[in-house]
Amino acid sequence: MGDKPSRNLKQRILSAVVMISVALGLLYLGSIPFALLVLTVAVLMSWEWGQIVRGAPGDEVSFVHEGSVALAVIVAALGHPLIAVSALCLGAAAMVWLRSGEASRLSAIGIFYVGLPAIVLLWMRADQSMGFEAVIFMFLVVWTTDTMAYFAGRVIGGPKLWPQISPNKTWAGFAGGVIASIIMSAIFAEFIPQASPVRLASIGLFLSVISQGGDLAESALKRGFGVKDASQLIPGHGGVMDRMDGFVTSSVAAALYAVMVNWAAPATALLIGG
């Protein structure tokens, strides 16, 4: 019995190392390899959403979900993020037309849940000035938050954050993730010309909180449908959605901030400002 947590932890670490290596490698290779990664992840998340919400990941609604998201990713990769968002809207409308009831509405929401962060990633990466660095920063905030929240929660323990939704999360884990992200963001700023450590640390704090909110939101969705993991695609981690939940919300928040600062150069807006 005592060896099981150790084996699970080793499995989680190994899976995380592989996923991070693949993500960073394809991100470094350029827009096209990275777009293929985003497309693959988005389609898998769409499949998992259908499995959770409808229990029928292979029905016609799933086809619309996966097709709409895939189309949006391709259009965004070609440099048309606004048209890509329009593709998501059409897909959501088609879902509502195909089905009625709560499952239909949640299916429509699922298109935006998967599609918007995918578009954001490609939009950020396409910024020739600092696209690579901005996506790295967004990844690091979520990875740092997840990792340090996990270890702080296990080591420190204490009061639960929201036991009705996620019984394993603690306030200590929440604080550990936020503090670690603040420190990481300030250090990251030292490698970006003209970036302010204080400003980037503030953004790291904000995105870390939003990221953990996304984690709780996905937990609430799964609990509502009596599901523990989105799938078993990733050894030791569950499904793709289980690893991307924090990034979904934090990426959209980062995009909204970038739009307000400088739509034409989102990566520069995020890392340096106006």
Q: Domain check: are 170 and 99 in the same one?
A: no
Distance (Å) of CA 167 to CA 56, 105, 146, 153, 157 = 28, 27, 16, 11, 12
Enumerate the β-bridge partners of residue 170: 160
Q: Domain check: are 227 and 199 in the same one?
A: yes
Provide the angle, in degrees to the nearest 10, between the axes of the packed helices 31-53 and 3-29: 140
Last residue of some domain: 75, 101, 126?
A: 126
Q: Domain check: are 178 and 83 in the same one?
A: no
Q: Domain check: are 172 and 259 in the same one?
A: yes
Last residue of some domain: 71, 105, 126?
A: 126
Q: Domain check: are 116 and 236 in the same one?
A: no
Q: Domain check: are 169 and 94 in the same one?
A: no
190: containing domain: 129-274
Name the burial class of residue 67, with classes exposed (0-12), middle (13-18) and buried (19+) by CB atoms within 10 angstroms of its CB. Answer: middle
Q: Domain check: are 39 and 87 in the same one?
A: yes
Q: Report CA 239 to chain centroid distance, whole Å.
A: 12
* Mean pLDDT per 10-residue interval, the chain, length 274 residues: 57 84 93 95 93 76 90 96 96 83 78 96 94 97 94 91 89 96 98 95 97 94 88 79 93 96 94 88
How many C-beta atoms surround the C-beta of residue 78 within 10 A? 13
Quick check: pTM over 0.85? yes
Q: What is the pLDDT of residue 1?
A: 42
What total number of domains does the chain contain?
2
Residue whose pair of structure tokens reads 């995009």 in the numeric block: 255
Q: What is the pLDDT of residue 50?
A: 87
Q: Which bin fits 27, alpha (ψ -120 to 50), beta or left (φ > 0)?
A: alpha
**145-170 pLDDT tens trace:** 999 999 999 899 899 998 888 888 99
Last residue of some domain: 126, 154, 180?
A: 126
CA contacts within 13 A on the Cβ side of 18:
10
**26-65 pLDDT tens trace:** 999 999 999 999 999 999 999 999 888 877 656 778 888 9
Q: How far is Cα 124 from Cα 220, in angstroms, rounded to an integer?
A: 29
Enumerate the β-bridge partners of residue 166: 162
Q: Domain check: are 246 and 170 in the same one?
A: yes
CA atoms 91, 95, 96, 97: torsion sign: positive
Name the burial class of residue 249, with classes exposed (0-12), middle (13-18) and buried (19+) by CB atoms within 10 angstroms of its CB. Answer: buried
Q: Domain check: are 80 and 162 in the same one?
A: no
